[in-house]
Structure 1
Amino acid sequence: MNSQEYMQFYDRVGLLNGWDFSQVRCTSEGVKWNFYDEVIKNCKASDILLDIGTGGGENLLSIATSPALLIGIDLSHAMVETAQKNMQKAAASNVRFMQMDAQQLQFPESFFNVISCKHSPFCVSEVARVLTKDGVFLTQQVRECDKANLAQAFGRGQSTREDGALLDQYMKELRHAGFQDIEYAEYDAVEYYEREEDLLFLLMHTPIIPGFGREEADFRTLQQFIRDYRTDQGIRTNSARFMIVARK
């Protein structure tokens, strides 16, 4: 997808479910961390936290009792609308959601103690600018080898880069921006989708297979994939992630 197609897709998902995949039946083997648990570990009760690419805000709302103030931003108006509805349901008085471009953060310098970003683009120089001197930035991103068997089956996938390219890019950018203490971890876990509809929901609501469903052949390919990779535990694929924790 080009950038315009992706934004249209992203807005559509935002109106539908805000990236809430809680109803999908999926199990994993080999996942090494829960990202927002790691965020909590780096938060003090007095901290102000920024969440970049917050989507429907479900993850941010789940940790609302940890820092003093949490602000979630997203480029998509539909996502922010969903997040605000979720905030009202959760009755979280210390959480705010705003539509904003991560490339141009509309906050003063050294405003946040902690910045998190899960599966969303970010601008390293902007993160460095609005983060306090002793602050911490955490990001989890999708590795290029994620859902490798799906990409092979469909002949296209969300990334055409070599595995590790995005990690190397972000590590270099963080060092250049003045971050001195940078740690990273990665995993490639086995993932099982219990039902056919769980896998279909994933493909319809994520850009794993760009343009999935536009051609009738995609559904034939999906059925063959399910036959090839069905196991007693579910339909098998992989979940590959990396996480960076960086301090100035």
Structure 2
Amino acid sequence: MTEDDPAALVAALADVHRRTTMVGWDFAVLDGAMTSENPPWDFEADCLAAMRRARTVVDLGTGGGERLAALLDRLPAGTAPSVVATEGWVPNEPVARERLAPYGVPVVPYDAEAAPRLPFADASVDLVMARHEAYDAAEVARVLTPGGAFLTQQVDGRDLVELRDWFGAELLYPEVRLDRARADLERAGLTVVVADEWQGRARFADVEALVTYLALTPWTVPGFEPAAHPGRLAELHRGGAVDVTQVRFRCSARTP
């Protein structure tokens, strides 16, 4: 994008923003245009190891089912546990159902922020996984079997703080932090086994990639519209690549 005229730049970015929508949990449109550092841990490996030990598994906030399908593909044939996925974002539900149907995994509508009670019986699940998904610690503890495990990786509420500073948005979830998560899990009667946090960099190749990301994740800067920020977008455009700060944490916990 080479527009030197701010009005032309904003018009072009507005068109990008309007044409971009998320399907499932697919960021392929940003391949080569967004790079990000990764935490030193391997959350997928943690989940895979836990799945191999479990008989019953719930994947909270499965998105379009992409991640869960990839985990199931890595299990030896005939060894997969009984798995149920949940998803709270309505556009994702049919995508997840279609992707997970070949694995025999049902997708249950569930949003912890709207109705925290999980749709599962007491002490009925060996493993609950939540990657970048809200959860209620007391509900997780309720549905876990004795000796059951909970694994979560979360986007810290201070993630991508630069975007909120640049575009005038409030932190939506300032309470999502490792210390709060750990305290909530312990209050629910779980024993926290692992608790780590990490900060790193994400880089957008240019301002068009940044606007694409904001369109894909409208919750990052709620109500974002390019037309409302011509000066800031022009400044970012002149600077070339755009760097922002990622913040992540993980917890694993077990029932007695």
Q: Same fold (TM over 0.5)?
A: yes
Q: 2: CA distance between counterparts of 1:222 and 1:142?
A: 25
Matched-pair contact (CA < 8 Å) for 1:19–1:56? yes
Give distance in 2, aligned partners of 1:44 and 1:209.
Answer: 38
Runs of 4+ in structure 1 over 3 Å off: 157-161
SS in 1 for 2:229: helix
* 2: CA distance, partners of 1:135 / 1:81: 29
Q: CA deviation at 1:96?
A: 1.9
So what's the TM-score if we normalise by structure 2?
A: 0.78
Q: State the one-letter code of the partner of 1:130.
A: V
**Aligned-pair distance for 1:175?**
0.8
2:13 alignment partner in structure 1:
none
Higher Cα Rg, which structure? 2
The SS at the match of 1:116 is strand
Q: Percent identity?
A: 28
CA distance change for structure 1 residues 227 and 149 in 2, over 3 Å: closer, same or farther?
farther
Question: For the residues of structure 1 that align with 2:46 and 2:28, how far apart are their CA atoms?
Answer: 20
CA displacement, residues 44-100 of structure 1 (integer Å, 9 cap, x when unaligned): 265321111112111111111434222110123322111112235xx323x221112
Q: Return the match for 2:200 from 180, 189, 194.
A: 189
- Give the superposition deviation at 1:28: 2.2
Contact 1:18 1:79 in 2 (8 A): yes
Map 1:93-172 onto structure 2 (within 5 A).
93=104, 95-102=105-112, 103-159=116-172, 161=174, 166-172=177-183
Is the 8 Å Cα contact of residues 158 and 210 (structure 1) preserved in structure 2? Answer: no
> Which stretch of the first structure deviates more once superposed, 131-140 or 24-33?
24-33
- 2:248 is aligned, of 222, 241, 245, to 241
Supply the distance in 1 between the matched residues of 2:72 and 2:234 (Cα, whole angstroms): 41
* TM-score of the two chains, using structure 1 as the length reference: 0.80
Which stretch shifts more, 34-43 or 237-246? Answer: 34-43
The residue number in structure 1 matching 2:14 is none
Aligned residue for 1:42, secondary structure, equals: helix
Partner Cα distance (1:145, 1:50) in 2? 27
Give the structure, 1 or 2, with the largest relative contact order (CA under 8 Å, sep 6 or more): 2
Structure 2 residue matching 1:186: 3-state secondary structure: strand
Report the equivalent of 1:74.
87
Kindly tell me: are residues 38 and 225 of structure 1, through their superposed partners in 2, closer, same or farther at Cα, counting changes over 3 Å? farther
Q: Secondary structure at the match of 1:19?
A: coil
Structure 1 unaligned blocks of 5 or more: 1-14
Distance 2:146 2:234 in 1: 52
Instruction: Deviation per CA, 1:148-182: give whole Å up to 9, x if none.
Output: 22222112244473xx7632222111111111233
Structure 2: gaps (5+ residues): 1-20
Q: Residue 173 in 1 paired to residue 179 in 2?
A: no
CA distance in 1, matches of 2:53, 2:147: 15
1:175 alignment partner AA:
E
Which is worse superposed, 134-143 or 166-175? 166-175
**Closer, same or farther: CA 210–46 of 1 in aligned 2, 3 Å:** closer
